[in-house]
Amino acid sequence: MENVRKAVRQIAYSHTLSSLPLLHLSLLPLLSFASSLYSIALSLRHHLYNLKILTKHRLPVPVISVGNLTWGGNGKTPMVEFLARLLIDSGVSPLILTRGYGGADEAKMLRRHLQGTCAKIGIGVNRAATALSFLEKYGYVNFHDIRCSKRIFSEEKEKNLSNSDQIGAAILDDGMQVQEKDIKALESSVQKVKESVPIFLTEMAPLHFFKPEDVSFKIPLEAVKNKILLCISGIGFADSFIQRIDKMGPRYLDRLDFSDHHLFRMKDIKIVRTRIQTLESKFAAKPIVVATEKDYDRSPRILQLLEPYEVLVVCCRLQILPHDERTENSFEKIMMELFRRDELGKW
């Protein structure tokens, strides 16, 4: 099953189908049929909403839906964190709503990153029901009553802000997904729908490493320079993770990719340990294992079983890249304007 998942992932990211192995090509008719069924189901769902057989839910606070226009693993959860921090710095207490899929690794990572802030995280498949339970528990505040000017908090002020429990906005993690396109084609498709829509580019910026046994101790990124590395990951698009680590200048970088949301078990640890020992024999040096935060949050204790080999977890944060005069400040201004005009809220 793991081989089939890998094959599907490789097909999804392949630019030229003719270069795929025979096994991958044999899966294309089945995948095409499944895609057609999914498309029909989506069209039927939209039709049922238009006929009001299925009802839309509207919260008394603005709602932001964060999805991706490509295959998974492209930074939805980091964008959720980015938006949550933007709202917090503007005096708004956000409620993050996530399905909790795959061991709730995204929720665990968000809780750790946003600890000490006024952000709240609700987990549940029925996110409308989850949202209503949080609103009932904490209450809500009208966004128009909130002063939306940018504020920079000292640690003491941020602690005081966390006492404000009333929810001012909701963020949907993993709100939508469609098929993969390259950036230029995607920009063109979006602008055909609305030419004036602003498009921002982002990237995941590594901040530091930490060890599974001590998340509070920050290890500088230079720690892997000129080292032998084995990157292990169970995320949707591992290539971007590998590229980020490769830019840090390791002597040699090897990789072991598992399926998205993979829960590491003892058999996986044995596979990883075998690969480490092969690298150690080849280079006469102890390799370092590098994992993603999502993999740590899904299997925090099992990674410690790789001792005596060192395991580092890379901590990243999303940042907006300057693009066509669009910056982080202009992104914030657009978001705040949408809130003020009440153009967010229904899903």
- Give pLDDT, residue 103: 58
Q: How far apart are CA 337 and CA 331, in angstroms?
A: 10
**pLDDT band for position 151 (cuts 50, 70, 90):** very low
Kindly tell me if the per-residue pLDDT of 177 is higher than 50. Answer: no
List the beta bridge partners of residue 318.
204
For the stretch 3-42, pLDDT in tens is 666 676 666 666 666 677 777 778 788 888 888 898 899 8
- Give pLDDT, residue 20: 75
The tokens describing 43, both together, are 């069209």
Question: Which of 142-151, 190-199, 235-244, 273-282 has the highest mean predicted lDDT (pLDDT)?
Answer: 273-282
- Give pLDDT, residue 226: 97
- Rounded average pLDDT over 93-99: 90
Q: Are residues 195 and 69 in the same domain?
A: yes
CA 58 from centre of chain: 25
Q: Are residues 196 and 70 in the same domain?
A: yes
For the stretch 183-205, pLDDT in tens is 677 777 777 777 788 888 888 89
The tokens describing 270, both together, are 């044995």
Q: How far apart are CA 120 and CA 112, in angstroms?
A: 12
List the beta bridge partners of residue 253.
229
The fraction of the chain above a pLDDT of 70, given in percent, is 81
Kindly tell me if the per-residue pLDDT of 281 is higher than 90. Answer: yes
Q: Are residues 193 and 69 in the same domain?
A: yes
- Can you tell me which residue has the tokens 């802000």? 161
- Give pLDDT, residue 149: 37
- Give pLDDT, residue 342: 62
Report in angstroms the alpha-carbon separations of 128 from 46, 133, 259, 344: 18, 9, 29, 15
Q: Is residue 347 part of a domain?
A: no
Which residues of 103-194 form beta strands (DSSP E)?
A: 120-123, 169-177
Q: Are residues 327 and 300 in the same domain?
A: no
Average the pLDDT over each of 11-25, 150-164, 211-225, 311-325 and give the range with the smallest value: 150-164
CA 144 from centre of chain: 29
Q: Are residues 152 and 24 in the same domain?
A: no
Q: Is residue 212 part of a domain?
A: yes
Q: Which residue has the higher pLDDT, 207 or 35?
A: 207
Q: Are residues 18 and 46 in the same domain?
A: yes
End-to-end CA distance of the chain: 35
Mean pLDDT, rounded, of the chain = 82
Using alpha carbons, select from 312, 301, 166, 115 the residue that is nearest to residue 225. Answer: 312
**pLDDT band for position 347 (cuts 50, 70, 90):** very low
Q: How far apart are CA 102 and CA 9, in angstroms?
A: 17
Q: How far apart are CA 17 and CA 134, in angstroms?
A: 47
- Give pLDDT, residue 194: 77
For the stretch 105-140, pLDDT in tens is 788 889 989 999 999 999 988 888 899 999 999 998
Using alpha carbons, select from 309, 237, 227 the residue that is nearest to residue 272. Answer: 309
Number of domains in the chain: 3
Q: Are residues 22 and 94 in the same domain?
A: no
The tokens describing 161, both together, are 């802000």
Q: Are residues 195 and 327 in the same domain?
A: yes
Q: Is residue 81 part of a domain?
A: yes
Kindly tell me if the per-residue pLDDT of 101 is higher than 70. Answer: no
The whole domain housing 15 covers 2-50
- Rounded average pLDDT over 212-223: 94
- Give pLDDT, residue 164: 63
Q: Is residue 180 part of a domain?
A: yes
Q: Is residue 58 part of a domain?
A: no
pTM score above 0.75: no
- Give pLDDT, residue 159: 45
CATH number, residue 264:
3.40.50
The tokens describing 283, both together, are 């280079």
Average the pLDDT over each of 67-76, 156-165, 219-228 and give the range with the smallest value: 156-165
Using alpha carbons, select from 300, 302, 301, 272 the residue that is nearest to residue 288. Answer: 272
Q: Is residue 345 part of a domain?
A: no
Q: Is residue 195 part of a domain?
A: yes
Residue 14 phi/psi, 5-degree rounding, is: -80, 135
Q: Are residues 166 and 216 in the same domain?
A: no
Percent helix, strand and coil across the chain, each to the nearest 5: 45, 20, 30
List the beta bridge partners of residue 272.
none
Give the angle subtended at the CA of 237 by the CAs of 177 and 172, to the nearest 5°.
35
CA 99 from centre of chain: 13
Q: Are residues 98 and 137 in the same domain?
A: yes
Can the peptide bond before residue 308 be classed as cis, meaning omega within 30 degrees of 0? yes
Q: Are residues 196 and 332 in the same domain?
A: yes
Q: Is residue 56 part of a domain?
A: no
The DSSP symbol for 14 reads: -
Q: Are residues 142 and 218 in the same domain?
A: no
